[in-house]
Structure 1
Amino acid sequence: MRAGLLAGCVTTAVVLVLLAVGMVTILDSQQRQAAGVVPLSCNAALGPTQPGQADQGAAHAAELDDGQLGIVQLIISIGRERELSPRAWQVAIQAGMTESRLRNLNYGDRDSLGIFQMRPSMGWGTVAQVTNPPYQVNKFYDVLEAIPDWEAMRPGDAAQAVERSAFPDRYHNWEPMAVHLVENLGQIEDASGCGFGMGAALPSNSAAGRAIQFALGEQGKPYVWGATGPNSYDCSGLMLRAYESAGITLPRVSRDQFNAGAKLPVENAQPGDLLFWAYDTDDAGTIHHVAMYLGDGKMVEAQQDGVPVHTRDVEWGEPELLSQAVRPGV
């Protein structure tokens, strides 16, 4: 059965090269439509992965063997035939990796079998069906599509909604790898639908991508206290104009910008979120600096006199950094 599964796939050597060096033909939006791929709407809360984990996803994908890669190809090809979004492919890959390490197992807990450990006793199908890879993938997609608003869930949560596991959080572990496979083997440029921020990082919303683009385009311009562009900026002036370019109005000064969006733990910041520094981290009234997070541990800022607009590394534990980030427009 496994040999038959692999027959329709590209050769192992080609697959491994694609995964190793990323030399794939990427589908743009028009090509996606022609290929029957449903484009995604941007929702950064869904992932597809956390900033800085792209390398981890590629490393895990490189460890997959021929049989596992063949099952990934099957998941993607059936998802494409059914005109399901790449997010559905991602959910299925995460579920399959969690349940069986993407193998068509003939054993499992109680009567669980196959890629997704489907149980005949629970109505998933006969033994012959739940060990037949195309049946399993289609059955998984059938159940996924029946879940209300599954596309509004984080992919690991959608996988749990199908599988109903006693260990729901484990599906999240394979987000980075599943994204890497969708984007490389599935030839999808942007698995989230949100565009790109810095590297593999994900903008926090569609406006964030435009704000990032503006801020990065101002690099090299001088810092001047009180300046709001276009020739020079202070820290909050840069944030003001960056989000103004994306249709979002921020207050003028950094202390007020701290209250101009949804707050979230700084460790969960996504590209486009604002970071704040204060003389007393327990008192937002002492905020004196703001910058924009880019993902992958980097940010863009207008820092101080004599230092032009630039990007730099940021660490969550650095002095005076507040424990909350702000997502403008939310």
Structure 2
Amino acid sequence: MVIVTVLAVAITVGVFILINRFDTLTVAREGCRVTTPRGSLDLDIEQAQVAAAIAGVAHRRKLPERAVVIAYATGIQESKLLNLTFGDRDSLGVFQQRPSQGWGPPDKLVDPVYASGKFFAALVKVKNYRKIPLHEAAQEVQRSADGSLYAQHEENAKILAAAFTGRVPKAVHCWFPPGGEETPAPSPSPDGAEQELARTLGAGTTLEAGSRRRGWLIATWSLAHAQKYGLRRISYDGQAWSVTTGEKGDWKPDAGASRERVQIS
């Protein structure tokens, strides 16, 4: 009986953490903060990576920011913007897409780039998706049990979209241990980051900015993936981020930061 009680408490705590993960970081030593004129949100690094992937795919498809807002509100409701390997019945990934419903193979649906592409491909087929209420557009794609639930996440989705699409410069800051005996740092791999970015934004993509907004989209994507690729410094548009600044750090003025190309190392 004691064992059953302990397990029940553990399961309850685990669910509570998952439900609140979007609003409160569960690991203080690492995370990301999004700050725009609309407000501020805390994410964990996985959520930031998923958000960056969604924005990148939308950019590749030349979709408006409204499409990104709809995708974020959907992802928050379905998975808290986490790339889940489980769900109701055979649901998987950030959008909880089901292989049995024709969304794609299970191993593809847990790839945020692929899943985002499938979501946007369905969204653009929704008549007037830019103008109708967000929850109606999302429900046309998802066909969930209660489509009205997507509406509650619209404001948070707008904050994220302004930041990860690059419309608001230096809106995302991430921090994590720079490495040491307890947390070995990954070997810096700018090439690996560039290859994954190219896959997200489209073949042939480099770190050339092209436009200021696109440059900040790339800089933000790079920052969200900095821990994954062991990146220590990102600079663009007169600003630079360093892993050594920690949680209270942010983008800092850097006169040498190019306005033509995002530089990562």
TM-score calculated relative to the size of structure 1: 0.40
